[in-house]
Structure formats: structure tokens, C-alpha cells
Amino acid sequence: MADQKKGKISRVAGPVVTAEGISPRMYDVVLVGELKLMGEVIKLVGNKTVIQVYEDTSGIRPGEEVVDTGAPLQVELGPGLLSSVYDGVQRPLPVLRDKQGDFVSRGVTAPGLDRKTKWKFTPTVKKGAALEGGAVLGEIPEGNIVHKVLLPPKAKGKLKNISEGEFTIEDTIGELDNGTKIQLMQRWPVRQSRPYVDKLLPDIPLVTGQRVLDMLFPLAKGGTAAIPGGFGTGKTVTSQQLSKWSDAQIVIYVGCGERGNEMTEVLTSFPELEDPKTGKPLMGRTVLVANTSNMPVAAREASVYTGITIAEYYRDMGYDVSLMADSTSRWAEAMREISSRLEEMPGEEGYPAYLAARLSEFYERCGRVKTLSGNIGSISVIGAVSPSGGDFSEPVTQNTLRIVKVFWALDSKLRERRHFPAINWLTSYSLYSPILEDWYRKNISEDWNAVRLWAMETLQKESELQEIVQLVGSDALPEEQRLTLEVARMIREFFLQQSAYHPVDTYSPLKRQYEYMSAIRKFSEHAKKAVSLEVPLEKIVSLPCRSDLGKLKFEEAIDQDLKKVSAEIEKQFAGLGV
């Protein structure tokens, strides 16, 4: 860290410290007080520097020293990120525990990447190659993937030499002819997005295995989604399901202001999970950033940036990354808290006026891109929003909805009914469906979209009919409409409800989703014919194939069962004379 400058503290008010005698740049990292607490410059006024400190400032007094490190908050990027568990400023939590025990105390630094581990590096470029920033230099096996070693984005030149072998992240593995030494590790400032060549159309779905999401409200690779929901609507379980099952190679989970005990569940459940694709531990492709609600507020504010920067690094290798930010509301609250400590003029509901700008900056860092090395990589961001009092009109939710393309509306009414995932099929939406149509047609089935539309229509009709039923009861409806209600009930209870805890039901491949919905549709079509032939509805709904459709999702042999039941539908309706 070049050019250290020293100054003195003149004021301490909670996490906001004012110093004099240094002239740093905005967002430079400074070390505060005798304990050398980490902080970041957030305001310059006259000769005063205002610093937000990432740790508790109790006992810090005016007159203590402040050191400007001359560099902004940055993360270390290199092999060893996967399987790591970090706090909001990339300090590895297991290392902190070894150093200082069960409670996080202050002034402890620990580098993000381990300095001693040796990595087996195999170059994929030859001496003399002319290299641009972001070029792939070679490969390292890391966790469940191949870690591509990249030339830092700003470096450029002819490769003077490069070596194969086992290296630590600080060893020199090669050199450019301009004298630039190359290491396995590079640093990047978290508040700045990493460069790429081009943004591409997000026309491939991110498959999650969650039926309501994939079938009705799909997210594209490189897309953005928001999961709002008051507390207790199952947001956390849904986001964990996504991390576990989505078909991104890399999963970044940012627990921003999370509950300690729930973070523990993530921290203990992830290492136990098997990656369905490789059979290896899921942690081998996961990075966890955990900043619980009682950890310092400034580090909570930084945690989201730490996460997205790591995501960009793996994107640049050509991977599909999914980043879960849980919750962006806690992040916004951290901004609000710091802003109010700075006595800034508040915007709506006390949030800073720059809330919308910060949110959109963050979401803009995702997308499917052509990387500097010519590969294609993506970052899909799923941001959890926790509107206060379940009120969607509050600023964080509203500003988020203006940006994201998918809205998975968690609903407390559904939760009360134990309809899980409690995603409301009437208020949710996905703007990616039209872009993704081609992909489904080519990869799953020609009539995927027809099946999807049929399901949506049936659910929509149900909600209209429900209003009448509320007034007059379902017996007053004609048979055909009562059938619609029955079919919609099947879609809801059989298809949309999915148990995260059931070993079979927890993940449903696209093909199976399609077959399942098609079977329900088949039932519906036969039933419609039956109704037109004046078969009583009671007889139709008590057909064994109807209840079999509901039960089969818990069976090991579900795919065979689906075929059997599908055949049964025809047989049993034939029995009714259809």
C-alpha cells in the first residue's frame, strides 16, 4: 500500500468518524485509531475527512491516529475463493474464529485468500503471445470447477515468460515484456464494475427446478429478479432452494443483515449438500458472504459489492454465476442508517436520495456478457426485498421493481395456507418469457409455451370465478366453470406446491415439469369432454387418476408414474364413456 498518510481523529459519533490532517480520495480505505479499525472515506468537507468505520467504535477517542492506505476497498480475487465464508469486507470468518474466538472482536485483519496453499497451474498460452487485459493465461483445478487464471483487465503486453507448476497466490508465475509480473491473485475495487466486451441478450433460462418459477415465471441467465415478501413468507427457503438447485456453475450467497441462526443454517447446510451435477460438495462452487444484522452496519453496506465483484470475476472466466442478495432491504437500511449519521437530507421514508441510483448501479452489474477473453459468462441476480409491513409501495421495493425483470411475489396468505413456495401466481411476472420461447421450443417441447399459457389462463379464470364463489358459493356455478375451479385447484395443489424438504419433490427437471403440466392439461381436456357429455363433475373428480396426479410427485419413480397416469387418464375417461 503506497503513500501512507497520517492524520488525527477529531470526532467519533457511532460508526461515523471525522479526521483531520489527511487528504485521501473518496472511498479510500483508512485505518482508524490505535486498534486500526477499517473504515472508508465517504465525505470530504474542508480539511475534514468523514469516515464510515466497519467495526464498533467504542472507546475510540479524538486525537488517535488515522492512516490513509491510498487505495479503495478492494477484494482479493484468485483461486481459493470457492468454499470460502467471508464477512462483508472479505475477512474469512473461519480464520477470524481461529484468531479471536467465538465472538467477532475488533481490529483483526485477515486476508481474503490464503497465502500458503499451493495451486497446480497449467498455462494455456505460450511465451511470446500478445495478450490483452482479461486474457486466459492458464488453468487451476479449484473446487468443482476449473479456475481460469486471467490477466488483470488493465494489464497488456507480450508474454515474456510463464511457468507451469505449483504456486501460492503471491508467487510470480510469469512476466510481460513491459515488466508486469503476473500472480495468481489480483485485486479489484468493489465499487467499480469489472470490464467486459459486450452485453448479450438473455435468451437462455436459468433452470431452477422449482416448478412455479421455471414454468410460469422464468428467470434468464444474466437476468434480474426480485423476491419481495413480508417476514415469514418463505423468502429465505426459496432463496436457498435457488442457490442449491439453479443451473449456474457458481453460486454467491450474500447474507446481508441476515439472522445469525439462519445464516448458520446456510453455513452448515451448504457444506453438507451434494452438488447434483458432480456429486461433490456444493460448497466447491459456492462463496458465502455473511454479515448478520448485529455485525457492523458499514460492512453490511459493503457486503453486496464484495459479493458482486467476486461474481464478476467468475463471470470473466466464462461461467454462469447466480448471486443471491438476501436482503437488499437490509442493505438499503444500512445506507439509510449511514446517511442519517451523516445528517444528509433524507429522501422518501428517510432513505437517502441516492437510493435508486445505488440500486440500479448494482443491478446493472449483472447480465450475460462476452468477456474480455471472448468467453460468454453471466451473472443472474436475485435480490430479496423485505418491504416493511408487507407494503410494496415502500421505496426499496418500488425502486427495485423499476429495474428488475422478474418479480416473484411471495404472499403471506399463501404461507398461512401452507402453500409453498408461497409465490403468488397472479401478481408475479417475468418479462423474459417471450425472449426464452425459442429456447424452450428447441430444448424441451414445441408446445411448452402453449402449456404455460393454458396454465396461466386457467389460474386467471379461477381468480375471476372465485369472486363469484365468494358471493354465491360454488354450487351456483355451471358444471363447466366448476370444472375450471377443480382443474385450477389441481394446478395449484399438485403442480405449483412443491416441498423443499421432500427428497424427490425438491427438484423438478424441465422435462418433468412439462410432462406434469401436460398430464394435468390432458385430464382437463378429457374432463371438459366428459362434462359436455353430461357426466357429473363429482364422478370426474373422484376418478383415481386425479388423486394419483397429486400423489405421484412424492414418488421415486415419478417419471414412469407420470407416463402410467397419463395412460390411465385415457382409460378411466373411456370408462366414463368419453
**Nearest 5 degrees, angle CA 377-CA 378-CA 382?**
160
Least distance in Å: CB of 481 to another protein? Answer: 16
- Tell the smallest beta-carbon distance from residue 441 to another protein (Å): 33
CB atoms within 10 A of CB 128: 11
CA angle 25, 31, 34 (to 5 degrees): 145
Among 1, 4, 6, 13, binds another protein (CB under 8 A): 13
Considering beta carbons, is residue 172 or 547 the nearer one to another protein? 547
CB nearer to another protein: pick between 104 and 488: 104
Contact letters for another protein, residues 415-434 (x by CB under 8 A) = xxxxx---------------
Give the interface segment with another protein, choosing from 37-45, 259-267, 423-431, 452-460 (CB under 8 A): 259-267
What part of residues 383-422 is at the interface with another protein (CB under 8 A)?
A: 386, 388-391, 415-419
Single out the residue of 83, 77, 147, 163 nearest to residue 113, CA to CA: 77
How would you classify the pairing of strands 320-326 and 205-206?
unpaired
Cβ 323 to another protein shortest distance, Å? 19
CB 483 within 8 A of CB 527: yes
Strand ranges across the sheet with 157-162: 130-131, 157-162, 172-176, 181-183
CB of 498 to another protein, least distance (A): 13
Question: Is there a cis peptide before residue 421, judged by omega within 30 degrees of 0?
Answer: yes
Which residues 487-526 are close enough to bind another protein by CB under 8 A? 493, 501
Distances (CA, A) of 342 to 14, 51, 356: 11, 10, 19
Whole-number Å distance between alpha carbons of 508 and 515: 11
Closer to another protein by Cβ: residue 442 or 551: 551
Q: Can you tell me whether residue 541 is helix, strand or coil?
A: helix
CA distance 242 to 227: 11
Q: Where are the beta strands (DSSP E) in 319-396?
A: 320-326, 367-370, 376-385
In the complex, least distance from residue 513 CB atom to another protein, rounded to whole angstroms: 19
Answer for which of 6, 26, 47, 94 binds another protein (CB under 8 A) is 94
Site for another protein in 527-556 (CB under 8 A): 547, 550-551, 554
Query: Judged by CB under 8 A, which of 56, 203, 437, 447 binds another protein?
Result: 56
Looking at the Cβ atoms of 111 and 550, the one nearer to another protein is: 550
Least separation in angstroms between residue 85's CB and another protein is: 6
What is the rounded distance in angstroms from the CA atom of residue 420 to the CA atom of residue 381? 22
Site for another protein in 171-230 (CB under 8 A): 230
3-state secondary structure of 34: coil
Q: How many residues bind another protein (CB under 8 A)?
A: 81
Q: Which is nearer to another protein, 70 or 230 (CB)?
A: 230
- Interacting residue with another protein among 2, 126, 261, 478 (CB under 8 A): 261
Q: Residue 350, interface with another protein (CB under 8 A)?
A: yes
- The nearest distance, CB 48 to another protein, in angstroms, is 11
How far out from the chain centre does Cα 391 lie?
23
Site for another protein in 447-486 (CB under 8 A): 470-475
Q: Which helix (H) or strand (E) holds 257?
A: strand 250-258
CB nearer another protein, residue 76 or residue 265: 265
Which residues ranging from 276 to 335 are in contact with another protein (CB under 8 A)? 290, 292-295, 297, 329-330, 333
